[in-house]
Amino acid sequence: MTQSQPQTAPLSRAEGKQRSRQKLITATINSIAKRGFADTTLARVAEGAGLSRGIVNFHFRTKDALFLETLKFMSREYRECWFRALDESGPSPAEKLEAVLMAEFEPPISNRNRMAVWFAFYGEAKSRPTYMSSCTELDDIIHDTLINLCRTIIEEGDYENRNADIIAFGISSLTEGLTLDILLNTGAISLDRGKEVLRSHLQALFPKHFPITRCTGN
């Protein structure tokens, strides 16, 4: 009887520990989103995870370490989403480019909670360089991929006066800026608008590859 209930399934110690650790990271994300960086205390994180007060320092050496691991978790999740979109997309560079860009606006990784946390970390970036340096290598790989996609598209379409480096940088920045809108405004509308703006941008840059699908006369 007890065995038949999934949530009461007996966990090995290692599994239980891992699950608790993950609960704490999730609770940290929720707390930062709800209360902000400054008002996120270890006690509240523990409470949010349904665990006791002293637990954080058992799983993580310090509060800072908890924050760092939380950032790493989100970073990993983001990367997985990005590369999954790349893998699952059609073979052409244009398809790939559109796929990874649209993937950025999927709710699992793009929602107000997540954005609140990302920008909270950005806000701490200058005073605590450790935080962001854990993401840069990831960003480098993604950015290189983006440049290569753009370069190929430019060659395919014989687009003149298009510099792959600058365009890739612009696309990244545009995406980043659009995610800020997700934070400052309310969720779903912003996601759709983000996709729309990005499509329109691709259209202007590479008209042969991204023909007008619909005239958004609004």
Partner DNA sequence: ATTTTTTTGCTGAATATTCAGCCAACTGAA
Partner DNA sequence: TTCAGTTGGCTGAATATTCAGCAAAAAAAT
Which positions touch DNA (CB under 7 A)? Answer: 10, 12-14, 16-17, 20-21, 39-43, 46, 51-59, 62-64
Q: Sign of the CA dihedral 190, 74, 76, 164? A: positive
Pick the closest to residue 65 from 133, 131, 135 (CA basis). 131
Candidates 77, 123, 137, 192: give the one binding its own copies (CB under 8 A). Answer: 123
Task: Round to whole Å and give the CA distance between 71 and 12.
Answer: 27
Task: Round to whole Å and give the CA distance between 39 and 71.
Answer: 17
Between 112-125 and 63-88, two packed helices, what is the crossing angle to 10 degrees?
120
Altogether, the residues listed in the chain come to a count of 218
Contact positions with its own copies (CB under 8 A) in 88-117: 112-113, 115-116
Q: Does 8 bind its own copies (CB under 8 A)?
A: no
Residue 91's CB is within 10 A of a number of other CB atoms, namely: 6
212 binds, among its own copies, DNA, none (CB under 5 to 8 A by kind): its own copies
Task: Round to whole Å and give the CA distance between 121 and 117.
Answer: 6
Q: Does 47 bind its own copies (CB under 8 A)?
A: no
42 binds, among its own copies, DNA, none (CB under 5 to 8 A by kind): DNA
CB of 28 to its own copies, least distance (A): 14
Q: What is the CA radius of gyration of the chain?
A: 21
Residue 186's CB is within 10 A of a number of other CB atoms, namely: 10
CB of 171 to its own copies, least distance (A): 9
CB of 206 to DNA, least distance (A): 48
Q: Does 36 bind its own copies (CB under 8 A)?
A: yes
Contact positions with its own copies (CB under 8 A) in 154-193: 161-163, 165-167, 169-170, 172-178, 180-181, 183-184, 193
Q: What is the DSSP letter of 28?
A: H
Which residues are at the interface with its own copies (CB under 8 A)? 33-39, 112-113, 115-116, 119-128, 132, 161-163, 165-167, 169-170, 172-178, 180-181, 183-184, 193, 196-197, 200-201, 203-205, 212, 215-218
